[in-house]
Amino acid sequence: MNLVREKMPQHGGSEGVWEGVYIYTDVEGRELDRHKSRLTHMFPEDRPNDYDQRNQYEWADGKTEDFKFSFVMTGNDETGYEMGFENERSKGLVWEEPLRIGDLATVRVSWLRTSIEGYSPFDVPTAMIHELIQMDKDYKHRGRVWQWYLDGELIGRTIIKEHRVA
């Protein structure tokens, strides 16, 4: 049994395949880039504290990217639960808001870039990104916003609109 789904139920609701679009904007809201996305969220039964994710991106010019990474849940019932991740691109944390506001499930992610990834107009290896993920009560639709910071200053946003396809 995968404990992430049990201990972090709002994030557990993201299990499956999501398709959508990433739209990058500057701080004034001008579009800088966009691409299609397909994200697969997996909670492996043989690794009870783990969560795996596969991100596939496709641009209008034919460029594609496909990468996988894993998260490990930490914490306990008294301190709360979070997931940490570290890979060749970034390191960070995922946590849930303890209460729902209205019908939306809310998950937060913060990470620090450790290398240039090659797909963002904000491709600087020291950027800090804060993400807000909100999903409808049936986990069929979600909206995500990334706020990009460099040396503490907001440099842009990524707006992501997705729907579950499987």
**∠ CA(166), CA(57), CA(73), 5° rounding?**
65
Per-domain boundaries in the chain? 3-164
pLDDT at 142 over 90: yes
pLDDT above 90 covers what percent of the chain? 77
Question: What's the mean per-residue pLDDT of the chain?
Answer: 92
Residue 11 exposed, middle or buried by CB count within 10 Å (0-12, 13-18, 19+): buried
pLDDT tens profile 85-123: 998 888 999 999 877 778 899 999 999 987 666 667 777
Who contacts 77 (Cβ-Cβ below 8 Å, separation ≥6)?
A: none
Tell me, which fold does domain 3-164 have in CATH? Lipocalin (2.40.128)
pLDDT of residue 107: 94
Stretch 150-165: mean pLDDT, rounded?
A: 96
pLDDT of residue 119: 63
**DSSP E strands, the chain:** 16-25, 31-42, 50-58, 64-76, 80-86, 90-96, 105-113, 128-135, 141-150, 153-164
Structure pTM? 0.91
pLDDT tens profile 35-50: 999 999 999 999 999 9
